Amino acid sequence: MTISEPGEISPLRSIGIIYGYAYEGHCYRLPKPRIMVLPVEPCELVMGDCGYDPELGYAVWRIDKLERVVALDVRTDSLKTLLLDENMPGNRSPLAYAQAMNLAPHRNRE
């Protein structure tokens, strides 16, 4: 496996629901699963690897910690809640206001 250079995007090859990971010989479980698009194909899981069973459909991705991946945040609710209510004044994050202020055109009153 090769590590992509900083700023270089590796081709994304698979999508997985990540329940946990192993790092430096220790197994960790995530508080809630994450959907990720990964630049490598999944490998076959060894029986009993971190408590996951390959017969239940689990797989592993062997990937370097410096590889670039895409983590997807999936939320479900009504369009009103997810789009309209979140973009009402007072409900936006402070960064949204800062971006709007930075992008606003300059008005010259002469």
Q: What is the pLDDT of residues 28-42, one digit of tens each?
A: 999 999 999 999 999
With beta carbons less than 8 A apart as the criterion, state whether 36 and 69 touch.
yes
Give me the residue spans of the domains in the chain. Answer: 14-72, 77-104
- Pairwise CA distance, residues 96 & 75, whole Å: 20
> Has residue 2 got a pLDDT over 60?
no
Q: What is the pLDDT of residues 48-96, one digit of tens each?
A: 778 888 888 888 999 998 988 999 988 888 888 877 877 777 666 655 5
For residue 43, give the 3-state DSSP assignment: strand
| Phi (first) and psi of residue 53, to 5 degrees | -110, 120
Give the pLDDT confidence score for residue 92 in this predicted structure. Answer: 62
- Read off the pTM: 0.59
